[in-house]
Amino acid sequence: MKTRRVSGAEGSHSGIDLAPMLDFVMNLLVFFIITAVFAKEVGIEVSRPGSGAGEGGKESKSMIVTIYGTGDIEIEGRMVDARAVRANVERMHAVKPENGVMVVADKSVNSGLLVEVLDQIRLGGVSDISFGATK
């Protein structure tokens, strides 16, 4: 039986090559940096009244749209259908274009109905929408 001797220069390589692991980590780092830059957050911007809400003595009367938990919609004391919100908002906005709309919704309102009403208000030409709550 023949035995083979390994010389000291060839067989002393006992270590882990870190180059592939470093390449992989750098690729992950570049990927996460690029995806973080292009990620967009989606949401509805809500303007909350501040401490100076009653400044200047200028009284602005907002049109009040109330949405009940039963799905009923009330605009300025009249019950309307969800499809009639846009027409009512357009009519009232034509009379007083500086006024906004206040949406008062019950806690149990379906979010789909709330979004539909908000879309109808925006299509009616009003971009100043505020939210209110009942006690």
Per-residue pLDDT of the chain (135 residues; tens, 9 = 90+): 566 555 555 556 678 888 899 999 999 999 988 888 776 766 767 666 655 544 444 455 788 899 988 889 998 888 998 888 999 889 988 888 888 888 988 888 888 888 899 999 999 888 888 887 765
Residue 88 CB neighbour total at 10 angstroms = 19
Per domain, the residue ranges of the chain are 61-132
Q: Residue 109 is which amino acid?
A: V
CATH architecture of 61-132: 2-Layer Sandwich (3.30)
* Residue 71 dihedral angles phi and psi, to the nearest 5°: 100, 0
pTM value surpassing 0.85: no
pLDDT for 8 equals: 53
**CA distance linking residue 101 with residue 129, whole number of Å:** 5
pLDDT for 18 equals: 86
Q: Which two tokens stand for residue 69?
A: 């938990």
pLDDT for 57 equals: 44
**CA distance linking residue 43 with residue 97, whole number of Å:** 26
E strands in the chain: 63-67, 73-75, 78-80, 101-105, 129-132
Task: State pLDDT tens for residues 12-41.
Answer: 667 888 889 999 999 999 998 888 877 676
